[in-house]
């Protein structure tokens, strides 16, 4: 089997590029629906393409408002759970035009191989990021995301 860390990092790179270029089609192909997203404060389930688009648009807008021009994302660990599932973690740094690292946050993700493609099936964030991921829930319309209690 291909190295789990290489697969995870490739997905991070492709998702990061999609966010930086505001390319929703490229972003969408990397996510399973429904898609649980957890932070320290909340748990959300993105169930439809429209909801995922709202999360994507709000993420891009928040990054632009904070003058973030780049994402540096690094897989710290990834391993196979079975042939079609990888669990891993990564760190993200948000970069301004002055190349200063604004902040970091950590995430745990589950990847699943579906229809010949690896997709992010579940995301859990440490909640320490000022822009991502906590602000996604606050800035996304209630109709776009269904909240679930933990």
- Residue in 125, 128, 68, 76 with CA at minimum distance from that of residue 98: 68
pTM for the complete prediction? 0.82
**Distances, alpha carbon 36 to alpha carbons 20, 63, 85, in Å:** 23, 22, 16
State the pLDDT at residue 143. 37
Determine the pLDDT at residue 148: 35
Tell me the DSSP string of 9-67. Answer: HHHHHHHHHHHHTT-HHHHHTTB-SSEEEE-SS-EEEE-SHHHHHHHHHHHHHHHHHTT
Please determine, for residue 136, whether its predicted confidence score (pLDDT) is greater than 50. Answer: no
Q: Encode 69-97: b = buried (16+ Cβ within 10 Å), e = exposed.
A: eebebebeebebeeeeebbbbbebbbeee
CATH of 4-148 among 3.10.450.50, 3.40.50.150, 3.20.20.70, 3.20.20.100: 3.10.450.50
Percent of the chain at pLDDT exceeding 70? 81
Whole-number average pLDDT of the chain: 83
The full set of domain ranges for the chain reads 4-148
Q: What is the predicted pLDDT for the residue at 103? A: 66
Which residues are registered as beta bridge partners of 124?
Answer: 38, 108
Band of residue 102 on the pLDDT scale cut at 50, 70, 90: low
């Amino acid at each position: 089997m291909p190295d789990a860390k290489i697969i995870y990092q490739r997905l991070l790179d492709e998702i990061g590029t999609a966010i930086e270029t505001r390319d929703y089609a490229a972003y969408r192909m990397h996510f399973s629906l429904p898609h649980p997203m957890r932070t320290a404060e909340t748990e959300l389930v993105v169930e439809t393409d429209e909801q995922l688009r709202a999360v994507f648009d709000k993420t891009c807008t928040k990054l632009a408002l904070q003058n973030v021009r780049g994402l540096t994302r690094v897989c710290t660990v990834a391993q196979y759970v079975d042939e079609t599932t990888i669990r891993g973690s990564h760190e993200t740094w948000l970069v301004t035009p002055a190349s200063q690292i604004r902040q970091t946050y950590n995430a745990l993700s589950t990847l699943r191989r579906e229809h010949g493609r690896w997709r992010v099936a579940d995301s859990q964030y440490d909640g320490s990021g000022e822009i991502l991921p906590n602000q996604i829930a606050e800035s996304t319309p209630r109709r776009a995301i269904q909240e679930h209690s933990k």
